[in-house]
């Protein structure tokens, strides 16, 4: 009887001791986990004088206007063009007003960014009717010119050099002629320029429609 009760008693002690140990281990372990996970607290930082608590005033673009640059020539005009159709006023008879002549294909232009340009004729034939007769003018050659433009006008300032030959066929016969440079040309034409083409005209009845080509000023 004593042995039995002693055993049971011993079992209780053992159980309690076990719980005590486990609890103690748990307490220590949890404390260690706590320290390990929480750490030793925030790191000390920085002497006084941190960043300002007020944001910086927003940097604005300078009050003074930014630098500027001379405006170039209209990008739309610059480039290479071929004349699709053209009606020019041609004067042949000294005692008669110029008459309208339509041209065949073969004329082209190059308007360069530096304000110079080239006009080329490649067997361009102008045809006109005057008093029931047909007059023809065939032109070959080229001419250099200077130009400028604003929003809706293009001004041909000068015809600086010319290598242009004309051949007239009129009822009275045929003849040849050449053109000469004209430093004081100053021809002002109205123009419309866009992605689809260029149209130029003036009050004399001149009107020309151009299409852009993939030469000068074209970027692929």
Partner 1 sequence: MRRGTGHLTEVGGRVGRAISRLGLAALLGLVVVGVGAPAGAAPPSAEERAAAIARPAIVIVEIRWQAWVRDTKTGEVFGGKDGYRIVSSCTGFGVHADGLLVTAGHCVDPGAEGIGRALFGIVAQELAAVGRVGDNNKAVAALLDRAVAEGPEKDSPVSREVVVHRGVRVDDRTVDDPLPAEVVHILPHSRGDVAVLKVERGRLPALEIIDGSDLPVGTPILAIGFPGSADRISDPTLEPSAKDGRISNRRTIAGVPFYEVSAASTGGMSGGPVVDQSGRVIGLVSSAPAGEPQAFNFMAASSLVAGVLRGKEIPNGLGPVDRNYRSGLKQYYAGHHKSAIEYFDAVLKASPSHQQAWEYRRLAGQTPGSSAVPSLVIALCALVAVGTGVVAVFLFMLRRTAAAGGVVGAGPGTPIGPVSGQGFGAVAGPVSGPGFGVPAGPVSGPGFGTAVGPVAGSEWAPESGPDAGPAPGQGFGAAVGSESEQGFRSEPGFGAVAPISGPASGPGLEPTSGAGPLPGPATEPEPGQRAG
Binding mask 108-147 for partner 1 (x = CB under 8 A): ----xxx---------------------------------
Query: Left if phi > 0, otherwise alpha if psi is -120 to 50, otherwise beta: which for 203?
Result: alpha
137-196 residues near partner 1, rule: CB under 8 A: 193-196
Q: How far is CA 148 from CA 82, 111, 122, 159, in A?
A: 19, 10, 25, 13
Of 71 and 184, the one with the shorter C-beta distance to partner 1 is: 71
Please tell me whether residue 215 binds partner 1 under the rule CB under 8 A: no
Q: Which token pair is 10?
A: 């011993």
Cα-based angle 77, 80, 83 (whole degrees, multiple of 5)? 90
> Do residues 135 and 92 touch, judged by C-beta distance below 8 A?
yes
- Residue range at the interface with partner 1 (CB under 8 A); choices 28-36, 119-127, 134-142, 161-169: 28-36
- Name the CA radius of gyration of the chain, rounded: 47
The pattern of x and - marking residues 77 through 106 that bind partner 1 according to CB under 8 A reads -xx---------------------------
Indicate which single residue of 2, 94, 151, 173 sits in contact with partner 1 (rule: CB under 8 A): 2
Kindly indicate which of the ranges 66-74, 145-153, 157-165, 168-176 contains the residues binding partner 1, using the contact rule CB under 8 A. 66-74
């Amino acid at each position: 009887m004593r042995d039995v009760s002693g055993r049971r008693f011993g079992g209780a002690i053992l159980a309690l001791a076990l719980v005590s140990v486990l609890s103690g281990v748990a307490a220590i372990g949890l404390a260690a986990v706590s320290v390990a996970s929480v750490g030793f607290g925030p790191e000390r930082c920085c002497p006084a004088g941190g960043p300002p608590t007020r944001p910086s005033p927003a940097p604005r673009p300078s009050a003074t206007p930014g630098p500027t640059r001379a405006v170039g020539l209209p990008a739309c005009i610059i480039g290479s063009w071929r004349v699709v159709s053209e009606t020019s006023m041609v004067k042949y008879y000294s005692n008669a007003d110029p008459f309208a002549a339509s041209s065949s294909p073969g004329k082209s232009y190059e308007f360069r960014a530096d304000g110079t340009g080239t006009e080329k004729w490649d067997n361009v034939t102008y045809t006109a009717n005057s008093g029931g007769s047909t007059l023809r003018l065939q032109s070959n050659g080229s001419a250099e010119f200077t130009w400028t433009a604003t929003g809706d006008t293009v001004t041909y300032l000068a015809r600086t050099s010319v290598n242009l030959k004309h051949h007239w066929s009129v009822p009275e016969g045929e003849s040849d002629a050449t053109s000469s440079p004209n430093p004081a040309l100053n021809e002002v034409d109205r123009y419309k320029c866009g992605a689809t083409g260029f149209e130029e005209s003036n009050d004399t009845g001149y009107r020309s429609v151009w299409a852009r080509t993939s030469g000068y000023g074209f970027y692929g």
